[in-house]
Amino acid sequence: MPHRDRAIILAFVVVLAVLAGGILLPAARPAPAQVAAPTATPAPETPVVAYRDGVVGRPSSLTPLTQRTRADRDIVALVFRGLVGLGPGQKLVPDLAESWKIADAGRTYTFVIRPDAQWDDGTPVTADDVVFTVSLLKDPAYTGPAGASWSDVTAEAVDARTVRFSLGKPIGGFVELARQPLLPKHLLADVPVAELADSDFARSPVGNGPYRLVERDIDHAVLEPSDGYAGPIDPGATPEATPGPSATTGAGAVPDASASPSGSPEPASGEAGEPPASLAAAASPTASASPTAAPTDEEPVDLAASGLARIEIRFYDDEPSLAAAYRAGEVDAASGLDPETAAGLMDVAGTRLVKYPSSIFSSLTFNLRADHPRFRDLRFRRAVTMAIDRKGIVEDVYLGDAALAETPIPPASWAFSSASSRLLPFDLKRATAELKKSGWKKTAKGWVAPKQTKPFTLKLLALDPSANPVSNAVAKAIAKDLTTFGIKTTVEALPASTLIKRVQDHDFDAVVLDVNIGLDPDLYPLLASTQAGPGGGNVSGIQSAELDALLADARKPGTTAARKARYAKLQDYLSTQQVMPPLLFRDHIVAYRASVDGPRPRELGDLSDRFWDVLTWRLAANP
C-alpha cells in the first residue's frame, strides 16, 4: 500500500491498547541503570528536588520503535527527539534539525541537522542516524505501528548533517512524520530489529533529548538533564514556524523554487494562537520566508539551573492507586486518569486540571459493505445520529472533558473549518421524519425496516468495561438513546484483541470506534475505497468515487491556505453524508499541583506529547 495507507488501522490498534491501560508485560525487577558520575563534579550541598510525575503502567521497552506501555512512552518522550518537534498553538518547530526545504512538488524533503545535536554519550547526531532509524522502520522484521508510515519513503545521507527523504507519493503531512524520534546507529547497528525490544539498550537507553535516564526499577525512573542539549529552536517562545503541521514553507523550512509551479512558493496565511478553551480551531501562523536556524555557538540550556533539575516518573498499576498517591502527596502530577477520577482530585488543595485537546476521534462506525444494506441508507445514518444525545455523553461520561465531533477533523486542528462542518442536533422529531421518509415504520415494539415484518435490532460492539470503562459507558449511553428512540440496541462488550479481530474481519454491524486521526489529519487511509480490503484502514468499507477524489486532493502538499480550502470541501461532504457518524474528541487530562508551573495546553496526538514544553516548566520551592 502507498505511504501511510495502512497506518490508520495500526493507529486504531494502538489507541485501543492505550485506552485499555497499555500492554503490561510481566518482568523481573530490573537493576537500576548505571551511569558514570563525572569525577570533577562535587556532591551538591542540598538534595535536588525532583518533579514527580505519576503514570499508570510500568516500563517494558524504552525505545521509540518498541515502546509498549504509557510509562515507556513518557520516558521515550523525554529521552529521545526527532528532526521536528511540537511548538505552541498549531506549530511544528525545528528540533534536532535546524532547517528543511521541500522540492519536487512535495516529493523531496531535505533536512539539515543542528551542529550541536548529540547523543548522551557525546557522539554527534548525524544523517546516518536518520537513515538507520528509517531502515529499522522499513525492516520486514519490524511489526510496530510506526512502520507503515515509512513504507514509501527513502532516506539518504547527503553529508554528515544533511539527510534527504524521497516520497513515492507526495503527502502533505510529511513534516509531522519527521517528529519520529531517532535511534543511534553507532550503538545499535549490530542489534537486529527483532531483538531491539528486549535488548540492553531498551533497558538503559542512550538518547538525544533534554533528559537522560539515570535510574530505573519496577516502581520509578529518574531522569536528569542531558549534557549539551540546546533544546528546540526558540523553546517556549512563539517562533514563526511551520503553519499547520505541514505547509510548503515555514520557519525552519527553506523555500525552494521547485516547490511551486510559479517558481516562488506562496507564503501561508492565518493567525497564531493557542487552542481556545472552546476548542474552536486556532488558525495557522504566518510563515517566514527565511529559515530560522540555531546559532552554531548557542549555549546549551542549563536545565539544572533554570528548569526541572530532576524528573522522577513513578509507576502505578491502576488509576485508583495513582489517584491515592496524588492525594497522599507522593506525586506532583497524575496523567491518563478517566474524567471522573481526575475531577475527584480537584478537592486536593492547589490542584488544577490541564486539558489537552486530542486528535482521538470517537465515532459510531457502521459496516457499510454490501451485505449490510440497512446502514448504507443515508437517512438511516442521519436518523441514528440525531437520536443520540451526544452532548449528554460529553457531559455525563466525560464530565465535559471532550469536544463534540462534527467530522473526523478535530475542532482544535489547523485544518478544521467551522463553515464546512455542521453538527446534526439531538432531535427525535427530525430523526423520526428521516426514517419514515426512508420507508421505516414505527410500531409499539420498535422500528421496522422496509420489506421487513419484525422490529430491527442493532448489534453494537464495544470494549469490555475492564479494558476501557469510559468507551464501554459511551456504548451503553448510545444503546440507551437508540432503544428509547425505538431502535433496540444491544451492546456486545469484548476484550480489545477480540474487538480488533472482529472489526478487521468485517464481522460487525456497528462499533464504537476510537481512531487517532493525528495532528495532520490525513483521512485517506480511514475512508478511501482502496483501503477497504484486508489490512486496510477503511473499517466502515465505504466506497465512493466522489469521496476518494476529495481525500486524495486533501492529502496533497501545498500552502496552509490551499490545504485548508481542500479540507473544507472534504468536511462539507462528510458533514452531509455522515459516513462515520461522529461522536466526540476526548481531551487528555493531567492533574498538576500548584507547585508545578509551566505546562501549557495544545492539541496532542498522544498524552506523552504533554512534555512538548518541558523546557519551560518550573517547580516552585514554596507554592
Q: Are residues 572 and 609 in the same domain?
A: no
In a domain, residue 327? The reply is no
Q: Are residues 598 and 543 in the same domain?
A: no
For the chain of 623 residues, list the mean pLDDT of each consecutive stretch of 10.
Answer: 44 45 33 41 61 96 96 97 92 94 94 96 97 96 87 96 95 93 98 96 96 96 86 47 38 33 26 25 27 34 62 96 97 95 95 95 96 95 97 96 96 94 94 96 96 96 93 97 97 95 94 93 93 88 96 92 96 95 96 94 94 92 54
Rg over alpha carbons for the chain, rounded to the nearest Å, is 24
Instruction: Give the type of residue at 83.
Output: L
| Cβ–Cβ under 8 Å, residues 375 and 381 | yes
From the centroid of its chain, how far is CA 145?
12
Q: For helices 378-386 and 428-437, what crossing angle results, to 10°?
A: 160
Q: Are residues 378 and 444 in the same domain?
A: yes
b/e map of 461-498 (b: 16 or more CB within 10 Å)?
bbbbeebbbbbbbbbbbbbebbbebbbbbebbbbebee
In a domain, residue 111? The reply is yes
In a domain, residue 7? The reply is no
DSSP state, 287? Answer: P
pTM to 2 decimal places: 0.81
Q: Are residues 214 and 243 in the same domain?
A: yes
Q: Are residues 280 and 363 in the same domain?
A: no
Q: Are residues 601 and 547 in the same domain?
A: no
236: domain range? 48-316+593-619
In a domain, residue 463? The reply is yes
Q: Are residues 278 and 187 in the same domain?
A: yes
Nearest Cα to Cα of residue 465 among 512, 419, 507? 512
pLDDT on residue 295: 30
Q: Are residues 116 and 60 in the same domain?
A: yes
- Show Cβ contacts of residue 172 under 8 Å, excluding neighbours closer than 6 positions: 106, 246, 520, 522, 554, 555, 556, 557, 558, 563
| Total count of domains within the chain | 2
b/e map of 405-437 (b: 16 or more CB within 10 Å)?
bbbbbbbbbbbbbeebbeebebeeeebbebbee
pLDDT on residue 519: 92
Q: Are residues 474 and 416 in the same domain?
A: yes
pLDDT on residue 534: 82
Q: Are residues 187 and 225 in the same domain?
A: yes
Q: Which SS3 state, helix, strand or coil, does residue 169 take?
A: coil
In a domain, residue 27? The reply is no
pLDDT on residue 137: 96
Write the burial class of residue 84 (CB in 10 Å: 0-12 exposed, 13-18 middle, 19+ buried).
buried
- Show Cβ contacts of residue 414 under 8 Å, excluding neighbours closer than 6 positions: 90, 243, 244, 245, 270, 281, 282, 283, 284, 560, 564
Residue found by looking up cell 507547585 in the block: 595
pLDDT on residue 29: 30
In a domain, residue 328? The reply is no
| Cβ–Cβ under 8 Å, residues 496 and 472 | no
| Cβ–Cβ under 8 Å, residues 315 and 57 | yes
pLDDT on residue 233: 60
Q: What is the CATH number of the domain that holds 76?
A: 3.90.76.10
The length of the chain, given as a count of residues = 623
Q: Are residues 290 and 379 in the same domain?
A: no
Q: Are residues 156 and 58 in the same domain?
A: yes
In a domain, residue 13? The reply is no
In a domain, residue 8? The reply is no
Q: What is the CATH number of the domain that holds 575?
A: 3.10.105.10
Q: What are the distances in angstroms from CA 334 to CA 62, 63, 211, 260, 606? A: 20, 23, 20, 47, 15
